[in-house]
Structure 1
């Protein structure tokens, strides 16, 4: 949340080759010289960002795999309560939208265990990958930087990162001494669509010396409270209403349809953390303890039925009044982080990261607790930045994760399971003139043990990648990356067998599932000139034994059966984005005003191979685009944009197509004082009050995105 320099409002988007995606992704911004010696207007908006310290000096402009870096201004602009909704307007990103309380990012059509959500380089240690109704235990309101790494990142982060990585860096463990010994930030906001209130605050303060090193204390907290949110029309989509009317006929007439508001969509959360770091000339070490609590409703929830009567008599089913499902989430997390810089020898730097989480959430219907999910686990890793000499650089490391997961209650659908994973990896980079050569590999061993079932499974996988990039000039770059990865199935994919209260589904795993293997290629091209900059990424990935969850068309206890299956599959697609500096002009009131036109588009196509009948995969996002107009000056930043999602008619069996939508959004940030970092933020979302539904959401036909919303916020740094 702290940066002594004012950061540019635009997100900085580029590409990253696989060996660049190292553990911490703690980046340092080297802002371009703002002089006029051949620099483009507002050159300070174009950042040279080193994503990883193993290849310091390479910019994001010179890398291959798709990457987006969001800084504080852009995070504040896009802030929407959950991580998934905060990020879903970025290229190639969608979300699992399960109401305002739970929304996880989907990258290039991949979600669940294939997307790793990191808290400053370490896993979130929650249950969010288990089911879409489970919230991510990471608070975006306190983030000072979010990095989105598209494509496989598993060489560094493990097999759970085969689809991408979301790394949220919130500065809970200080790695530098604050300027003048103290820095603080605070933000408050109000939204109209849900009568929502939110606030966040954090501070770093130098408290003294210990053995010549500085002690820095960190404190932060956040709070959010919102009611059920408004929608422009019916909660159920027209397609679903038409289907129900056709199936039920006269019985459907007279039924009351939810309209204008999504019931049980409230969301409340609060968090607090305290950390202490010892910072010296050669590095730092610090620790932080964080407490997080969330209570949120699950829209379109499940309801029970009871049967009455004695043996031999007709059983008469009586439907009880439907009660909304709510989730009560608690997590205590302890993190340790340290870095040490060597004077000489084989290694330049050593990085250590450790995170322990004690997570629990209860699914509650009325006064009754249905299921309690618990996850105690840790992740530890050591990265050694190598001093190879010459044009070589590299990193080698070890990663260990442990997870003790349980789901207890009448509707627990996964047995208690203990999982352990050990990974060794090495990554190398060679620079020859304008050529960049990257290659690396990872060996990983995973075990899942379910004592209740008397089952213990082991998986060993090897993954590798190689990349080649070339600088055609200072403005133009192109590269290509090839990879082969292996992912072990998760406990949910293997052992699920039972009803899930919050999702109204009966989930079935398959204990015979094997490793999922992916082979792919990704190409990238980028240009950065004085007036225009743009990038294009294209990819094709072939999966052997691709594991997916799909509706079977069957019912058990009036719940739709969703089964995990495996088949060969192919994913292909692209992301393109551009920024055109249209004009600059001087005004007497605001000084120089810069006008930018921006645009982005992404598409993913996914299909099963060698199957008869329907070969479509479920919940694949449609073509999407975003076009924007920006006017930036010292006193204000203004942006308006049109967000477009195409119709998705390429659906799997028993999946309902989704209609297209367009939403018009506008943002205005006012900076009234030149010598103070204070911003008044005004945001208007979905101004046309469009009925918008995320095809990647299990609830898209019963829970649309929020309607027209106006938000006002105030941010200040000291």
Structure 2
């Protein structure tokens, strides 16, 4: 029955006679490379070399073959083979660089072959850098920082961009959470069971839509098996800084043509230790009191509990696979930075998510089309913000997504695919402190992606057009009440109610090339024009957000202040404009031999850049809550700063660099650096932009031992926006050592912030309330099978 349904869904096959393409894969010294992987570009067919490096590939008579060949410790390479050239000898060059195929791109390419800058974190590197949140896991990657909402809800910042501009995906499908709405919302993914994490720097709208105008973080796992091999891993770890405990395991196996997957994790941590006072204004006094004592301060509301599992299965066919998975995630985490008159207030979030995914990758035996990839996802997400036992706001997001990529055979030597993409999100914020109204967002898009080799030059072209509809009912706004900036008077009367529908047609186009101008080097260039419709939260927000501790106002409104210092809110008279990015990337790479580097420079000109900015005004008594016992209500008299979304033209530019030197067989050194400058056309700087950073890492591996020492120096950030303070520079030193007890069993020890540096993250809304963790040590054991 399954085969019959698949046959009905696929273009009718035309059976042609088959021929054989044969050859051998060797290294530079002529030695065969066993178990090298050969991907047939434009299809889902993959084969491996035998112990003598040999391969044999069936192809249609009269058709040439494009192979993408990869092997560990070697540079990936693409070969074009004509049937008359048999047998072929394919030579790979050794490299000190980490070369990994990128799953999140529509064409076969590694991080060293893409026109767009890509970072891939996988294998032991991913396990070594894994943290409780996605932002903290990726914060040391080139061009990536963390917005650091404590260790519980940190999200990645790519080249100074975050929130609705940076798309978080799981196996190419939107994570479907509320993490793009506010910095205090945790990303509903788990890195402990991931196979690799891919970071597409710069606009990725061509592949993922307008929500990726700043980049993409794609978490790749094996929840839907693509084979029936048996393998897996497990990990136990405990960290001292918060008594953080982690148990994680994943495994794949198969029976006949059926693949099976199961993974799960459990994590629990207390409030974490900090090397000084939480509040920046009390740090100097605090240091005087504690200079002779070991500091055991902890950051209130920084604890977390989380657990989850994924169950998946697939049916393996000769021409590909079809699979389905179900995942469940629960996370309860504190929200730091809340207190009234010096006393901490219990504020935390309760998150739950259920997720279904359907993936299919099938090769087609058709005269026109070579493969079809299909992805469907359904996500049911709920997130409640709770203060002293009372729910202030509950966020719900029910989303559906479907994407079909249809690859065609070469047309005048151009290879590519047509993509049809649909997304729908039904988002609501319910409760007395809901700061954004319920909204529906629907997107329908079609894209064309093509590439062609011209000798040593690879050209990649693409275009995408979307139709985006955003609607909101019951948008309640106080337009008439006056507020005094000093007294903070606020009358909770909503005098205007709106229903708003917006419709836009964002268009994206991209052109890139990769030039192998001499052996072992390439030069990559890409230009992307990308458009984005502002999100519902950016447009419709109005009210207190207890998680972020802000009074948030959307771009449809404006703050009007009079000479007496009183202010009120009014509808803006400006039209809703698309955010438009024109981005240029230039990369120079050296990848062969014991010394390699990647140097990137970028310039991003953005019209109508929507950002959340401080007005300098505050509101008092913005929300009431029941006490923890639930008996009496009390007024929360804290002041909330008023932040409003504005749209202005801006320019972001900077550089990223990574140098790697394999000094000897056991010793590898690397140096990294990145810098972002973000300015408004009308003058001034954008807020919360990470500072210049430089890092160094040394890795030593001999026998069963492996050691690593790394340091990151963050320079002072004094290029700040209005009402934003400077942030001091700091240096973080980390180290780790591991020992292989057997081929599949490892014990390890990690140390973070070894100098107990008192540091704050400039890009964080909690910069003045939540320093980075104190010195910590983690011990763990991991295994593979």
Same fold judged by TM-score > 0.5?
yes
Aligned to 1:13: none
1:467 equivalenced with 2:512 (yes/no): yes
**Number of aligned residues:** 641
C-alpha deviation, 1:197, in angstroms: 0.6
Q: Is it true that 1:582 corresponds to 2:619 in the alignment? A: no
CA–CA distance in structure 1, aligned partners of residues 342 and 595 of structure 2:
61
In structure 2, the partner of 1:645 is 714
Matches within 5 A, 1:9-408: 30-32=71-73, 43=95, 46-47=98-99, 49=101, 51=103, 55-56=107-108, 58-178=109-229, 182-207=230-255, 209=256, 214-237=257-280, 260-301=297-338, 322-389=344-411, 391-408=413-430
Aligned residue in 1 for 2:678: 606
Say whether residues 1:709 and 2:709 are aligned partners: no
- In structure 2, do the counterparts of structure 1 residues 567 and 48 end up closer, same or farther at CA, with 3 Å as the change threshold? closer
Deviation of 1:331 (Å): 0.5
Residue 523 of structure 1 pairs with residue 586 of structure 2:
yes
Residue 421 (structure 1) aligned with residue 466 (structure 2): no
Indicate conservation of the 8 Å contact 1:216/1:278, yes or no: yes
Give me the whole-angstrom Cα distance separating, in 2, the residues matched to 1:480 and 1:44.
23
1:631 to partner: Cα distance: 0.8
Q: 2:12 corresponds to which residue? A: none
Q: Which of 481, 489, 510 does residue 526 from structure 2 map onto?
A: 481
Preserved contact between residue 39 and residue 530 of structure 1 (Cα < 8 Å): no
Q: Which of these residues, 577, 601, 610, is aligned with residue 538 of structure 1? A: 601
Partner of 1:456, secondary structure, is: strand
Q: 1:30–1:49: 8 Å Cα contact kept in structure 2?
A: no
Q: How much has 1:44 moved relative to structure 2?
A: 8.0
- Contact between 2:99 and 2:112, CA under 8 Å: does it hold in 1? no
* 1:234 CA displacement: 1.4
Alpha carbons of structure 1 residues 53 and 341: separation in structure 2 relative to 1, 3 Å: farther
Provide structure 1 residue ranges, at least 5 long, that are not aligned to the other structure: 1-19, 245-257, 304-318, 585-593
1:597 is matched with 669
Q: CA deviation at 1:189?
A: 0.3
CA distance in 2, matches of 1:627, 1:78: 15
Question: 1:98-137: CA deviations, max 9, x gaps?
Answer: 1121010000000001001001110000000000000000
SS state at 1:388 partner: strand
Residue 205 of structure 1 and its aligned partner are, at CA, apart by 2.3
Separation of aligned partners in 1, 2:765 and 2:296: 20
In the alignment, the residues of structure 1 paired with residue 719 and residue 330 of structure 2 have an alpha-carbon distance, to the nearest angstrom, of 39
Conservation of the 8 A alpha-carbon contact between 1:54 and 1:386: no
Report the alpha carbon displacement of residue 33 of structure 1 after superposing the two structures with TM: 6.0
Partners in 2 of 1:96 and 1:136 — Cα distance?
12
Following superposition of structure 1 onto structure 2, how do residues 547-586 of structure 1 map, counting pairs within 5 Å?
A: 547-557=610-620, 558-584=639-665
Q: Which residue of 1 aligns with 2:5?
A: none
Could you report, residue by residue, the CA deviation over 1:187-216 in whole angstroms, capped at 9, with x for unpaired residues?
110000001110011222213x4xxxx112
SS in 2 for 1:76: helix
CA–CA distance in 2 between the matches of 1:347 and 1:650? 52
Please tell me whether Structure 1 or Structure 2 has the larger radius of gyration of its CA atoms. Answer: 2
Aligned CA-pair RMSD: 2.4
How far apart are 1:59 and its partner, in Å?
A: 4.3
Matched, 1:685 2:760: no
What's the counterpart of residue 633 of structure 1?
702
Q: Distance in 2 between matches of 1:376 and 1:32?
A: 43
Q: Report how far residue 602 of structure 1 moved.
A: 0.2
- The CA deviation at 1:465 is 1.1
In structure 2, the residue matched to 1:661 is 730
Displacement of 1:48 in angstroms is: 6.0
Asked whether the equivalents of residues 513 and 566 of structure 1 are also in contact (C-alpha less than 8 Å), the reply is no
User: 2:764 matched to which residue of 1?
Assistant: 697
Unaligned runs of 5+ in 2: 1-40, 45-67, 76-89, 287-294, 475-497, 557-574, 621-638
Cα distance in 1 for partners of 2:156, 2:169 equals: 12
Structure 1 distance, partners of 2:300, 2:204, is: 39
Once residues 348 and 223 of structure 1 are traced to their aligned partners in structure 2, the CA distance between those partners, rounded to angstroms, is 42
Relative CO higher for 1 or 2, CA cutoff 8 Å, sep ≥ 6? 1
Contact in 1 for aligned 2:713/2:731 (Cα 8 Å): yes
TM-score by length of 2: 0.79
- The alpha-carbon deviation at position 668 of structure 1 amounts to 1.6
Provide closer, same or farther for how the CA distance between residues 243 and 390 of structure 1 changes in structure 2, counting only shifts above 3 A: farther
Question: Hey, what's the Cα distance between the residues in 2 that align with 1:52 and 1:542?
Answer: 25
CA change 1:548–1:638 in 2 (3 A) is: same
> Separation in 2 of the partners of 1:45 and 1:543?
33
1:598 offset after TM fit, Å? 0.4
Shift of 1:439: 1.1
Counterpart CA distance in 1 for 2:351 and 2:91 is 54
Q: Deviations over 1:198-253 (max 9, x none)?
A: 0011222213x4xxxx1122111100000010111111225x76899xxxxxxxxx
d(CA) in 2 for partners of 1:386, 1:672: 49
CA distance in 2, matches of 1:43, 1:484: 34
By how many angstroms is 1:62 displaced? 3.0
Flag the 1:86–1:53 CA change in 2: closer, same or farther, 3 A: closer
Query: For 2:727 and 2:346, how far apart are their aligned partners in 1?
Result: 25
Checking the alignment, whether the CA contact within 8 Å between 1:53 and 1:385 is kept in structure 2 is no
Secondary structure of residue in 1 paired with 2:211: helix
Distance 1:290 1:302 in 2: 36
- Distance across 1 between alignment mates of 2:599 and 2:278: 37
Greater alpha carbon shift after TM alignment, 511-520 vs 161-170: 511-520
User: Partners of 2:69 and 2:426 in 1: how far apart?
Assistant: 36
| SS of aligned partner of 2:539 | helix
Q: Assess, with a 3 A threshold, how the Cα gap between structure 1 residues 637 and 417 changes in structure 2: closer, same or farther.
A: same
The alpha carbon displacement at 1:418 in A equals 0.8
1-structure distance, mates of 2:513, 2:285: 51
The residue aligned with 1:491 is: 536
Question: Secondary structure of 2:767's match?
Answer: coil
What do the CA deviations read for 1:380-402 (whole angstroms, capped 9, x no partner)? 10111221245321121011111
2:9 alignment counterpart: none
CA distance in 1, matches of 2:177, 2:104: 26
2:492 corresponds to which residue?
none
Give the whole-Å Cα distance in 2 for the aligned partners of 1:502 and 1:50. Answer: 35
Residues 1:400 and 1:376: Cα distance change in structure 2 (over 3 Å)? same
Q: Distance in 2 between matches of 1:28 and 1:547?
A: 43
